[in-house]
C-alpha cells in the first residue's frame, strides 16, 4: 500500500507539472519486478537536479568486471518521494539517501528500487517526501561487466610486437552511455561537477578529465588515484581510462599541460599530435577570447574506437588513425586528417563542452561548429596544409546528402538513443559547417567572430538552443563590453555592417537562418540573364526526382529559403550581393554584361543553374580562358553541372563538355573534382559490366589526362595539394590498368616483398596504390595480410586493408570479410569499413551485400542501431547498386527486418540512392556512349 501511495503521490506531481488533465488517463510501464514504474517518458523529470557526483570506479582487467559507487548531491525543485535517473546494465547492490546533516533518510530495506530497461531508467521511491530547496545525497553501490562494444565503460586490447595481448578499459559516453558506467541524470542539460577516484593495480595508470591530485595505496597491490574536482559539465563528457599507456608532454604559452597517450611501442608516432594540439589550443584561446578552463588536456589513442574521436573535457579520445602520425607510412592526406580531427575535438572544448546544446535535436551546435572550426584553426596554424581547399569537398558531401528526399532538417526531433545516435551524421557535421561558412561570409568575419565570442561567454557552463546563437550573432554587446569599453556590435550595427554588402536589404538573422536549420534540403537557384537584367528563382533541389515525375510538385510545397546570393559578372569590379527571400526576384545591373556567375568561391550553400545559353557561355569561357574564374568557382561549376544532370536539369553531354578544358587546368583541387566525376561514371559502368562503354571511357580518361598522369612522380615531394593529387591520380591510373603505372607499382611491391617488408623506401603517398597493385596476386595478397598482423602503424594497416579489399578473388574477399567479423586479426572497429571497401570493388559488391544479409543479427550484436557503423554498413553495402533487381532485393531485406530498422533513416537513404542510380543510367547511358565515341581520339 505504501508503494501505491508513493506512486500516486508522484503521479499527482507529474500531472500538475505537465499540464495533463487527469491521472486516470495515464498508463505507467511495468518495472522488472512486476510493479508499476513511476515515470512513463523517455526524458527525465526535472524536479531533482544533480549538483555534484562523487564517483569511485574499480575495473578488474582480469575478471572484466567493475565495481562502482556514486554519491550524487541533488537539489529538490518540487517536493517528491521519487528520484528517477538513468542506468543501463548496472546491478544495483545497495542505495541510501542522506540529508545535508548526515541523517540517513532511507536505505535499501526502507525504499524501493525499480528498474525499467526499455527506457534505461531506475527509480528510487522513498518513505518520506524530499523537501524543496533542500540538499540530499543519493549513494548507490553497483557492479557491472566491462562492455564488449564501444560504448559505456568498455574493454580494449592491443598487441605488442612480440604478439602479447594487453588489456585496458576506456569510456565513451556520447550520446547516452554514461548510464552504462554509473547511475546518473544522463541528459545534456543536467550539468554538474564531478570528483572521480579510480582504483587500479600497480602495473596500470589512470586518467580522467582532471589532473590527478594524489594516489593512495590500498590492500592487495591496489592503488586509488584521486582526481581534482571537475568544472560543471554534462554526463556525456565524463571520461576515465585505465591502461599502461605512455605519453609525450608539452605546455602551451598559457600554461596548459598537453599530453598525448599511446601504447608504449607507438610513442614515436605521438609527437606530431602533441605539436598540433599545443598550436591549435593556443589559437582557440586567442580566437574565442576565453582561456581553456582546465589545467590539462590529454589526447589518448584508444586501440578500439568506433568513431573518429570524442571530445571528453580534458581527456579527448581518438581512434589511432585519427591521432598518430608515422612519417614512414602516413601520407599527406593522413597528416591533414590527423590535424583536422585534433582541431575538431579541441574546438569542442568550447563548442559543446563550455556551451552545450540543450537537447540532442540541436547537436549541430556542437558538431557543425567543431567541423567548421577545423578549417579556421588549421588554416591559421598550418597554412601549408591548404585546408580551406577541402571545405569545398565538405560542402559538396553535404549537398549530396541534402538533395535526397530522405534528408532531414539540421535541427530535428530525436528522443530515444537510436534516434539520437543517428543525429551524428553528414547533416549535423557538414551541412552545419557549410551554413556557418555562408553566415560568416554574409555577416563578415569580424561580426561573426564577435558574435560567437558573445555566445560562448553568455552561455558558459550552461546550455543553448538555435535561437541563442542567432541572438548572439545579432547583438554582440554584453554588459561587460559596455563597462570595459570593449568593441562590440549592437543589433542595428550588425544590420548596418552587412547592409553595406546587401544594398537595400533588411534582415533578421534568426528569420534567415531558421530557413536553413528548420527545413531540410538545399535550394536550386535558376538564373536567366538578359543584358543587364538577371531573373532569379528558387526551388528545392532534388536528385533522382525530375519535374515531370508525379511526386515532384508535392515535394516542392512549403520550401523557401532566405538565400544570401553572391555573383560576379564580365564587368565586375566587386562581388555583387543580393538576399533572395522570395521564390523569384530580379536583379538590375548598372550595365550590360556578357556573363554572370553566382555563388562566388562556393561561399553559399546552394546549387546554381544557368538557363538559356548560360551554360554554353560558361563552357566557352572555360575553354578560352579558365582563369577568368577562381579555382573554387571552377570546382563549383563542375560540381553544379554534374549535380544538375542527376536532377534532370542539364544534359550529361553538356556537363562532360565542361570538363574538356581540364587538360589545361592548373589547380589540383579542380582537377580532382573533374576526374572524380569521370571516375565515378567509369566505376558505375564497370560494376554494371557495360564493357564497351567501360573500355571506351577508360581510353578517354587515359588519353585526355595522359600528360598530367605522366607528370606524377613516385615520391612524397611537393605541396599537400600536389601530394594528394599524386595519390589520387596514380591510384586511378593503376585502376585503369595504365601500363606505366602498373609496371612501376609492381616493381616497388616486388622489391618490398623481397626485403620481407623491411624496405622502407616506398613513398607514403603512393603506398596504398603499390599495395593495391601487389594484392592482385595470391602471393602478394597473403604477404600483405601477414604484414597487416605485425604492423605497428594504423595508417599502414588502413592502406593494407583497402588493398586487400581491391583484389578480384571471391575466396580472398570472403576471407577478408570473415576476418573482420571475427575481430581478432582485423579489429571489429574496422568491420564496417571493410564491408564498404569490398562493396566498392566490382568483384565484391554482391559478396558484401550477401555477407550483410547473412550476418545481420551478428552485426547488430556488435554495433548499436543508429551508430555510425550500422549506417555505414546499410548505406555503404548498397550504394553501388543500379538495377531494378538489386533495388527489389534491398527493399525485401529491409522489409524483413522492418521492426529493427523502423526508426532508422539509413534504409530510406539506401533505397533512394539505388533509385537515383537506376534513373541516372536510364536517362544518360545513350548520351554517355555517344559522347565518348565522338570525343575519343
Which residues belong to the annotated binding site for Zn(2+)? 344, 348, 367
- Residues 6+ positions from 220 with CB-CB distance below 8 Å: none
Which residue matches cell numbers 612480440?
162
The C-alpha cell at 381 is 596554424
345 is an active site residue: yes
Residues in the chain, total: 937
Q: Which residues of 789-807 are buried (b: 16+ CB within 10 A; e: fewer)?
A: eebbbbbbbbbbbbbbbbb
Which residue matches cell numbers 537562418?
513
d(CA 475, CA 453): 11
- Residues 6+ positions from 72 with CB-CB distance below 8 Å: 50, 52, 53, 54, 137, 138, 139, 140, 183, 184, 192
CA atoms within 13 A on the CB side of 415: 7
Tell me if 498 sits within 8 A of 442, measured CB to CB.
yes
Tell me if 742 sits within 8 A of 686, measured CB to CB.
no
Nearest to 74 by CA among 99, 39, 49: 49
The C-alpha cell at 773 is 597493385
- Tally of CB atoms within 10 A around 207: 27
- Residues 6+ positions from 911 with CB-CB distance below 8 Å: 887, 890, 891, 894
d(CA 552, CA 544): 10
The C-alpha cell at 195 is 570528483
Tell me if 254 sits within 8 A of 285, measured CB to CB.
yes
Q: For the chain, percent helix, then strand, then coil, each to nearest 5?
A: 45, 20, 30
Residue of 285, 311, 345, 539 with catalytic role: 345
Handedness of CA 892, 893, 898, 902 (dihedral sign): negative
Ramachandran angles phi, psi of 223, nearest 5°: -125, 150
d(CA 226, CA 224): 6
C-alpha to C-alpha distances, 785 to 267, 404, 549, 832, nearest whole angstrom: 24, 39, 49, 18
d(CA 68, CA 141): 6
The C-alpha cell at 56 is 569511485
The angle, 0 to 180 degrees and rounded to 10, between the axes of the packed helices 364-381 and 271-288 is 110
Q: What angle do CA 216, 220, 222 make, to 5 degrees?
A: 35
Ramachandran angles phi, psi of 162, nearest 5°: -90, 10
Neighbour-count burial of 903, counting CB atoms closer than 10 A to its CB (0-12 exposed, 13-18 middle, 19+ buried): middle
Is 610 in a helix, a strand, or coil? strand
- Listing DSSP states for 769-809 in one string gives HHHHHHTTSHHHHHHHHHHHHH---HHHHHHHHHHHTT---
The C-alpha cell at 31 is 518495472
Tell me if 70 sits within 8 A of 182, measured CB to CB.
yes
d(CA 496, CA 114): 59
- Residues 6+ positions from 706 with CB-CB distance below 8 Å: none
Is 717 in a helix, a strand, or coil? coil
Kindly list the catalytic residues. 345
Amino acid at each position: 500500500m505504501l508503494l501505491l501511495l508513493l506512486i500516486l503521490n508522484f503521479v499527482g506531481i507529474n500531472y500538475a507539472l505537465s499540464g495533463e488533465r487527469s491521472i486516470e488517463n495515464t498508463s505507467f510501464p511495468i518495472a522488472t519486478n512486476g510493479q508499476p514504474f513511476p515515470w512513463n517518458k523517455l526524458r527525465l523529470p526535472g524536479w531533482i537536479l544533480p549538483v555534484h557526483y562523487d564517483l569511485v570506479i574499480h575495473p578488474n582487467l582480469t575478471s572484466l568486471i567493475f565495481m562502482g559507487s556514486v554519491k550524487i548531491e541533488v537539489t529538490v525543485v518540487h517536493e517528491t518521494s521519487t528520484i528517477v535517473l538513468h542506468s543501463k546494465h548496472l546491478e544495483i547492490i545497495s542505495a541510501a539517501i542522506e540529508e545535508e546533516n548526515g541523517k540517513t533518510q532511507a536505505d535499501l530495506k526502507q525504499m524501493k528500487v525499480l528498474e525499467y530497461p526499455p527506457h534505461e531508467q531506475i527509480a528510487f521511491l522513498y518513505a518520506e517526501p524530499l523537501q524543496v530547496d533542500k540538499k540530499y545525497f543519493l549513494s548507490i553501490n553497483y557492479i557491472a561487466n566491462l562492455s564488449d562494444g564501444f560504448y559505456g565503460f568498455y574493454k580494449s586490447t592491443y598487441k605488442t610486437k612480440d604478439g602479447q595481448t594487453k588489456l585496458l578499459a576506456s569510456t565513451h559516453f556520447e550520446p547516452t552511455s554514461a548510464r552504462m558506467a554509473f547511475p546518473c541524470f544522463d541528459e545534456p542539460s543536467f550539468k554538474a561537477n564531478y570528483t572521480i577516484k579510480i582504483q587500479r593495480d600497480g602495473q596500470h595508470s589512470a586518467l580522467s578529465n582532471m589532473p590527478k591530485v594524489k594516489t593512495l595505496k590500498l590492500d592487495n597491490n591496489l592503488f586509488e588515484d584521486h582526481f581534482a574536482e571537475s568544472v560543471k559539465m554534462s554526463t556525456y563528457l565524463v571520461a576515465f581510462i585505465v591502461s599502461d599507456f605512455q605519453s609525450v608532454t608539452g605546455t602551451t604559452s598559457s600554461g596548459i599541460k598537453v599530453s598525448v597517450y599511446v601504447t608504449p611501442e607507438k610513442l614515436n608516432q605521438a609527437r606530431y599530435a602533441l605539436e598540433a594540439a599545443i598550436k591549435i589550443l593556443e589559437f582557440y584561446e586567442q580566437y574565442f577570447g576565453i582561456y581553456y578552463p582546465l589545467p590539462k588536456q590529454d589526447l589518448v589513442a584508444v586501440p578500439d574506437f568506433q568513431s573518429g574521436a570524442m571530445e571528453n573535457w580534458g581527456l579527448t579520445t581518438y581512434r589511432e588513425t585519427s591521432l598518430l602520425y608515422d612519417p614512414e607510412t602516413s601520407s599527406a592526406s593522413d597528416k591533414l586528417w590527423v590535424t583536422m580531427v585534433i582541431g575538431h575535438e579541441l574546438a569542442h572544448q568550447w563548442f559543446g563542452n563550455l556551451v552545450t546544446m540543450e537537447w540532442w535535436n540541436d547537436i549541430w551546435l556542437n558538431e557543425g561548429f567543431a567541423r567548421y572550426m577545423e578549417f579556421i584553426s588549421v588554416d591559421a596554424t598550418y597554412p601549408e596544409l591548404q585546408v580551406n581547399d577541402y571545405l569545398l569537398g565538405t560542402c559538396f558531401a553535404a549537398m549530396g546528402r541534402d538533395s535526397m528526399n530522405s534528408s532531414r532538417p539540421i535541427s530535428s526531433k530525436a528522443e530515444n538513443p537510436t534516434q539520437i545516435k543517428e543525429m551524428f551524421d553528414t547533416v549535423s557535421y557538414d551541412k552545419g559547417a557549410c551554413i556557418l561558412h555562408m553566415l560568416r561570409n554574409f555577416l563578415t568575419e569580424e561580426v561573426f567572430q564577435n558574435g560567437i565570442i558573445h555566445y560562448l561567454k553568455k552561455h558558459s557552463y550552461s546550455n543553448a538552443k538555435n535561437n541563442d546563437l542567432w541572438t548572439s550573432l545579432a547583438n554582440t554587446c554584453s554588459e561587460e563590453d559596455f563597462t570595459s569599453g570593449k568593441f562590440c556590435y549592437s543589433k542595428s550595427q550588425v544590420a548596418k555592417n552587412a547592409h553595406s554588402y546587401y544594398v537595400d536589404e533588411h534582415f533578421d538573422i534568426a528569420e534567415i537562418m531558421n530557413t536553413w536549420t528548420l527545413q531540410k534540403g538545399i535550394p536550386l537557384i535558376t538564373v536567366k540573364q538578359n543584358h543587364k537584367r538577371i531573373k532569379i528563382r528558387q526551388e528545392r533541389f532534388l536528385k533522382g526526382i525530375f519535374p515531370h515525375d508525379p511526386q515532384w510538385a508535392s515535394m516542392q510545397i512549403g520550401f523557401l529559403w532566405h538565400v544570401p546570393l553572391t555573383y560576379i559578372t564580365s564587368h565586375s569590379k566587386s562581388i555583387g550581393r543580393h538576399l533572395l527571400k522570395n521564390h523569384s526576384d530580379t536583379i538590375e545591373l548598372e550595365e550590360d554584361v556578357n556573363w554572370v556567375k553566382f555563388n562566388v568561391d562556393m561561399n553559399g550553400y546552394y546549387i546554381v543553374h544557368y538557363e538559356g545559353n548560360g551554360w554554353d557561355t560558361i563552357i566557352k569561357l572555360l575553354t578560352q580562358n579558365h582563369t577568368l574564374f577562381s579555382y573554387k568557382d571552377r570546382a563549383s561549376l563542375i560540381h553544379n553541372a554534374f549535380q544538375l544532370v542527376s536532377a534532370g536539369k542539364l544534359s550529361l553531354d553538356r556537363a562532360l563538355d565542361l570538363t574538356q578544358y581540364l587538360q589545361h587546368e592548373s589547380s589540383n583541387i579542380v582537377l580532382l573534382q573533374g576526374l572524380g566525376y569521370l571516375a565515378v561514371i567509369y566505376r558505375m559502368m564497370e560494376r554494371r559490366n557495360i564493357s564497351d562503354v567501360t573500355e571506351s571511357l577508360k581510353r578517354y580518361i587515359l588519353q585526355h589526362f595522359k600528360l598530367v598522369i605522366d607528370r606524377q612522380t613516385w615520391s612524397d615531394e611537393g605541396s599537400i595539394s600536389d601530394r594528394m593529387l599524386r595519390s589520387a591520380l596514380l591510384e586511378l591510373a593503376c585502376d585503369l590498368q595504365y601500363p606505366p603505372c602498373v609496371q612501376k607499382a609492381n616493381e616497388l611491391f616486388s622489391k618490398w616483398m623481397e626485403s620481407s617488408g623491411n624496405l622502407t623506401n616506398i613513398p607514403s603517398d603512393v603506398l596504398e596504390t603499390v599495395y593495391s597493385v601487389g594484392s592482385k596476386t595470391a602471393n602478394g595478397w597473403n604477404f600483405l595480410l601477414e604484414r597487416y598482423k605485425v604492423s605497428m602503424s594504423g595508417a599502414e594497416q588502413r592502406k593494407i586493408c583497402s588493398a586487400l579489399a581491391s583484389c578480384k578473388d571471391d575466396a580472398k574477399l570472403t576471407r577478408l570479410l570473415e576476418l573482420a567479423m571475427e575481430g581478432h586479426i582485423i579489429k571489429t572497429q574496422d568491420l564496417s569499413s571493410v564491408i564498404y571497401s569490398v562493396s566498392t570493388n566490382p568483384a565484391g559488391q554482391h559478396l558484401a551485400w550477401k555477407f550483410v544479409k547473412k550476418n545481420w543479427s551478428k552485426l547488430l550484436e556488435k554495433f548499436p542501431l543508429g551508430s555510425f557503423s550500422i549506417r555505414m554498413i546499410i548505406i555503404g553495402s548498397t550504394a553501388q547498386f543500379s538495377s531494378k533487381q538489386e533495388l527489389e532485393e534491398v527493399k525485401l531485406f529491409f522489409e524483413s527486418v522492418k521492426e529493427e530498422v523502423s526508426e532508422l533513416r539509413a534504409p530510406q537513404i539506401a533505397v533512394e540512392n539505388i533509385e537515383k542510380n537506376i534513373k541516372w543510367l536510364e536517362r544518360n547511358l545513350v548520351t554517355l556512349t555517344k559522347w565518348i565515341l565522338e570525343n575519343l581520339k
